[in-house]
Homo-oligomer: A and B are copies of this chain.
Amino acid sequence: MVGGGQLARMTHQAGIPLGVRFRVLADTSSDSAAQVAGDVVVGDYRDLDTLKAFAAGCDVVTFDHEHVPTEHLRALEAAGVAVRPGPDALLHAHDKGVMRKRLAELGVPCPRNRIVADPADVVRFAEEDEGAAGFPVVLKTTVGGYDGKGVWVVRGPEEAAEPFRAGVPVLAEEKVDFVRELAASVVRSPHGQAVAYPVVESLQVDGVCFQVTAPAPGLSAGRAAEAQEIALRIAGELGVTGHLAVEMFETADGRVLVNELAMRPHNSGHWSIDGAVASQFENHLRAVLDLPLGEPSARAPWTVMVNVLGGDYPDMYRPYLHVMARDPGLKVHMYGKDVKPGRKVGHVTVCGSDLDEVRERALHAAAYLRGDITE
């Protein structure tokens, strides 16, 4: 797996029972996954020779992020490396402009969007294009963004210059007045077997995933099936291998619009480690290794996952003891990362039959670990 973050860490964990020998390409030997994996290569994923040396001896190469340059992926494939998902699919997660164009061709419902050339063009998008509804609009760099980085909500022309400073193409999108965010995740294997996880509700704070509830409360069976079908269709049409998370907006007028795609294990699927029969990490591995896929259904009526973000206190050990003592049923997942304000350093999960109680327990533990509450 290219990338040594927490997604690789949790993928290695899922691979142990499968008997998978896991090699990780990490930026440093102290990366989250590098701390726990047995076969660690330290190097720069932007360097083709590093990637080639890393891939030698691997049956399959997969990714914990979408930042590997597409030309490097094509070069690896040309050299005979099994790259999964492949560059033709991964391009749609790497480049939001390519993704929007392709989803439009497929007729998948998306927010109104187009590539914009400069701040003046942003004004045309906001105020003059067909369907224009004025500011605010959302601007995104087409490549390189994650966790709210590379995304701006622009309230007027005077704020429209900043996104162009990165020197990459900029995508403008209508700011959707959504009721909530959903995520539909599917896993697809090279020969086309696919499984769909229950559709979840995802609550973001400042562009960072914060709380996930599985399944999405109050979502009708019809709407859930529609979201799953969209995700299955995208996975099939784009030729995705592995886990695909489709982040969606649910609108007040009953529409589901696609927001983002991720072709790797995704924060919206962390609930599945404790909450599903086979987790997203296990099924991602099973897919990229072309093994039969595992059962994606939930093990409990409700599962709530809350991210643990770094707070003002660098040492989380005492609250870590406290939350385990307070709630023996709490599942704590720490990523081995130094605590910095706002950084994802872990997550907690609670499963049960009473949603209010399950959510309270998960939120309390995450808030306590962060240091927001002390009792």
Contacts and interface: CB of A to CB of B under 8 A. Distances in A.
Contacts of A328: 195, 277-278, 292-295
Given A324-B291, A334-B18, A36 B38 contact: yes
Contact of A13 (B17, B35, B300, B324): B17
Interface string A289-330: 001111100011000000000000000000011001100110
A227 interface: no
Q: How large is the interface on A (under 10, 10 to 19, 20 to 34, 35 or more residues)?
A: 35 or more
A19 interface: yes
A346 interface: yes
Nearest to A337: B19
Contacts of A255: none
Contacts of A19: 320, 334-336, 346
A331 interface: yes
B332 A18 contact: yes
A16 interface: yes
Given A292-B324, A324-B294, A16 B36 contact: yes
A333 interface: yes
A46 interface: no
Contacts of A278: 328-329
B331 A17 contact: yes
Interface of A: 9-10, 12-13, 16-19, 21-22, 34-38, 40, 195, 273, 277-278, 286, 291-295, 299-300, 320-321, 324-325, 328-329, 331-336, 346, 351
Given A19-B335, A294-B328, 13 more contacts: A10-B16, A17-B273, A17-B331, A17-B334, A18-B332, A21-B35, A35-B38, A37-B38, A277-B329, A278-B329, A286-B324, A292-B321, A292-B324
